[in-house]
Amino acid sequence: MAKRATATPIEAEEQRVLARERSTTRRAAHESEKAKQQQTVAYKTTRLQKTVKQKQTVMKRKPNQDAKVDWPKPVDMDRKINCLKNFIQHMSMDSLAESVCGICNVRRFKRDLRHVPLSKIPSIELLKIHPDLHNMIPKIQEINSFNSNESNVQSSTNNQSFTCINGMFFYEAGLYKTVDRKKRSLIHCGVCTECWSALTKEKLPKFSATNKVWMGDIPQQLQGLTIPEQRLIALYRHNSCIVKLHSPFHSTSTAQSALKGNCISFPQDVINIATTLPLELDDLCDSLKIIFVGSRMP
């Protein structure tokens, strides 16, 4: 029969001390965890109480708030009809019609121009052209009256784009004829906002022909020139000229997206330009390019 091992009194005492320490440690850990749980419960309880109080306060301040909320009502038929009428009116030909200012030849919406008789234009004497321009601009004729009983405005200048009335310069596209109550035919002029503002301030409009920004129409001999022909006589030269040839059939299958930009021109040396004219064929080919725009080769 085996003998059971016995511990000495010192070892037994050490074991009892270790057991008490472990028991104390476990008890302290359990109490700490219990305290944390109590703190968490107390914190949640406090938050819940505050939330309930806030909701009660809001309900007291705004009683039956939800009962007063109305859902958006359907749009009534009258409003729909008015919106449709406004759209049709703003997209009509009358609203989108364009006209030309008789002073600066700028194109604007007709509704943005002032249509007034020539006699009602303020500071109209500023539009008088210099006598030398009569010799510089060919075939210019003059009307000596604001009335046009004897002839049409267009026929007075031999189908030119300009006319001179009482020594003042106007563009034909901005002039039209009306009849007053006494059945007198009067010449009216469309005036843009910029020109009207300048004339009311007794200033010459910036882009008016009398401000020396226009010297007449292109002569008939120089109209319809090809690009190489224009380059032979041009005083300004561009680095490159891009010609885009599109397909005659407008469809998405042959279309191609592209970027559009501006060309920059710079003045030539006018004194020495005679030595470079006419341009050689190689010079034209260096700056003249042709691009075929499309989804496949032409």
Bridge partners (DSSP) listed for residue 116: 189
CB 231 within 8 A of CB 237: yes
Cis peptide before 278 (omega within 30 of 0): yes
245: left (phi over 0), alpha (psi -120 to 50) or beta: beta
Q: What is the pLDDT along the chain (298 residues), one digit of tens a residue?
A: 445 556 677 777 778 778 888 888 888 887 888 888 888 888 888 888 888 777 776 566 555 555 566 778 888 999 999 999 999 988 888 888 889 999 988 999 988 899 888 888 998 888 887 776 666 665 555 555 555 544 444 434 456 778 888 888 888 888 888 777 777 778 889 999 999 999 999 999 988 888 877 766 777 888 888 878 887 787 777 777 776 666 666 665 665 555 455 555 556 666 777 777 777 777 777 767 777 777 777 6
The residue ranges of DSSP E strands in the chain, in sequence order, are 98-100, 107-109, 114-117, 142-143, 162-165, 168-171, 175-179, 185-191, 236-238, 241-245, 265-267, 288-292
- pTM exceeding 0.75: no
Domain layout of the chain by residue ranges: 97-211, 221-292
Q: Which amino acid, one-letter code, is at 72?
A: P
State how beta strands 288-292 and 241-245 pair.
parallel
Query: What letter does residue 74 receive in the DSSP assignment?
Result: P
Per-residue pLDDT reduced to its tens digit, 41-94 = 888 888 888 887 777 765 665 555 555 667 788 889 999 999 999 999 888 888
The Cα-based distances of 177 to 78, 152, 183 in angstroms read 41, 8, 12
